[in-house]
Amino acid sequence: MPTTQRLRVGIAVDLPAADLELMRELEPRLDFIYEPELYRPQRWHGDWEGEPSFSRTPEQAERYHQILASSQALFGIPDVNPGLLQKTVRENPDLLWVHTTAAGGGSQVKAAGLNADELDRVTFTTSAGVHGSTLAEFALFGVLAGAKNLRKLEADQAQKNWPSERWRMRHLDEMTILVVGLGGIGKAVAERFKACGSTVWGTSRSGKPVSGVDRLIEPSQLAAAAAEADAIVATLPGTGSTEGLLGSEVFEAVSEGTIFVNVGRGTVVDESALIPALEAGRIGFAALDVVAQEPLAPNSVLWDHPNVLISPHTAALSNQETTRIARLFAHNATCFLDGQVLRNKVDTVEFY
């Protein structure tokens, strides 16, 4: 990895000024090119794509291009646009590093269609792990919603119905939770369920012990493990090897009433297998922060299914997101300048 005494960093997306100052404090060897009026304004905290109706004047467009063309590193993919990333890499031979604000930024890099030489010249990193705690909380919420039968409680309250007979609820400390994927998000999920007294299983290709995980499951044994689990939490990234991984083999194996939560990528789930499992009651409740095609089509049966909770890919967002990404960028900048290994380097074969 190239080393240099200072690093010229272009800010390619809208970023709160306070986070820029934080990065300056954490790594004083960074020279930022930052012109707030050139970026698509964030509509909400962590909205990196920005306001779609925003357009630059010809002068602003030229200035934005100059930033991209003169930077050695970029904070964010330009306009979160893979096509513009490709153009930037090819027009700026001095560009050495691009940090994506998305945890799954590898898919954006893949979409840029860069050649082998370009992928070798430019280092790409993602914001994986930054969203782990918020997504882990949603996973906990989703399992609890199923365990406590949130839908029944809502329906009874809406009808002002006090049932004549009380009914049992499931308890986390009596449940086995299968975490599919033990990356940054999966580890955070495992920690929270373990703290609640659950038995935690997790899939692992490496076989290395993970804190909070009672049993490691080989990927080839996924369906067998799913058959014994009370709840399944998917945290996997979207790659060629994970697409449709949770399909008919898994959803036909699960026991009646299994709870399913997805906080990874929607493409990991074969929805044509999930929906029959919901209809048959094998999946008793599903909390989905992601779906295969986003936004979810208005005619999807998932919208109206009484045992499905849809979250519009928003569970990762929090007021701390931009600051956490800024801290991660500053850490990696120090590593880059000192010739050390960067966190979250994109695998340019699997692109995650």
Mean pLDDT, consecutive 10-residue stretches, the chain (352 aa), reads 78 97 98 98 95 97 98 98 98 98 93 97 95 96 98 96 95 98 95 98 92 96 98 93 96 98 97 98 98 97 97 94 97 97 94 86
Per-residue tokens: 30:
């960074």
pLDDT in the model for residue 58: 98
pLDDT in the model for residue 206: 86
Give CA–CA dist 82/47, Å, rounded.
17
Give CA–CA dist 101/109, Å, rounded.
12
Quick: pLDDT tens for 183-236: 989 999 999 999 999 999 999 888 899 999 999 999 999 999 999 999 999 999
By C-alpha distance, which of 4, 2, 70 is closest to 34? 70
Q: What angle do CA 87, 90, 95 make, to 5 degrees?
A: 105
Residues 6+ apart with CB under 8 A from 118: 89, 90
CA dihedral 59, 63, 69, 72 (to 10 degrees): -170
Catalytically active residues are 265, 294, 313
Classify the C-alpha dihedral 40-36-323-67 as positive or negative: positive
Quick: pLDDT tens for 274-300: 999 999 999 999 999 999 999 999 999
DSSP 94-148: T--EEE-SSTTHHHHHHHTT--HHHHHHSEEE--TTTTHHHHHHHHHHHHHHHHT
* Percent residues over pLDDT 90 in the chain: 93
DSSP 21-42: HHHHHH-TTEEEE--GGGSPPP
Q: Which ranges of 162-320 would DSSP assign to H, the alpha helix?
A: 184-195, 222-228, 248-251, 271-280, 301-304
pLDDT in the model for residue 4: 58
Classify the C-alpha dihedral 315-316-320-322 as positive or negative: negative
